[in-house]
Amino acid sequence: MEEICEAANASDADIFVSIHCNAAEAEEANGTETWACTGSYRGSVLASCIQSQIVDALDTTDRGVKIAKPGVNGLYVLTNTGMPAVLVELAFITNPGDEEILAHDQDALARAVARGITDYEQLILGGK
């Protein structure tokens, strides 16, 4: 994880998006959630834009935008990157319905993330 953050910080990237599949012991756990770091206004806006696009496009359960707090639940990539960063949990690989989405709707998921990024650009940069 340290190498990933170092590479991101050295890249002069405008944003950092980490994409994951969620999992839980309870098979009924399902849906999409997107994490941002506490205190990052732009990260929270980016998370909201991506979350909305995925939920709207794929009709996944909206688990909301979550805020990572360093020392509590601070996800490493969110607390160690210098740009607005999000961690997207697309769906639960341990839920049969969500697993179908993950297996068969990868293009739609990618497009939803991309639309969320462009929504963020419109809000933050005014389309510039």
Q: What is the pLDDT of residue 127?
A: 56
Is a pLDDT exceeding 90 seen at residue 20?
Answer: yes
* 87 confidence band (pLDDT: 50, 70, 90): very high
Listed residue (60, 83, 69) closest to 35, CA to CA: 69
pLDDT at 68: 92
pLDDT (0 to 100) of residue 75? 86
Torsion 100-102-107-113 (CA) sign: positive
Query: What structural domains and CATH numbers belong to the chain?
Result: 2-125 (3.40.630.40)
Is pLDDT at 70 greater than 90 in this prediction?
no
Strand partners, 127: none
Kindly report the number of other CB atoms within 10 A of residue 54's CB atom.
Answer: 28
Residues contacting 81, CB < 8 A, separation 6+: 5, 8, 9, 16
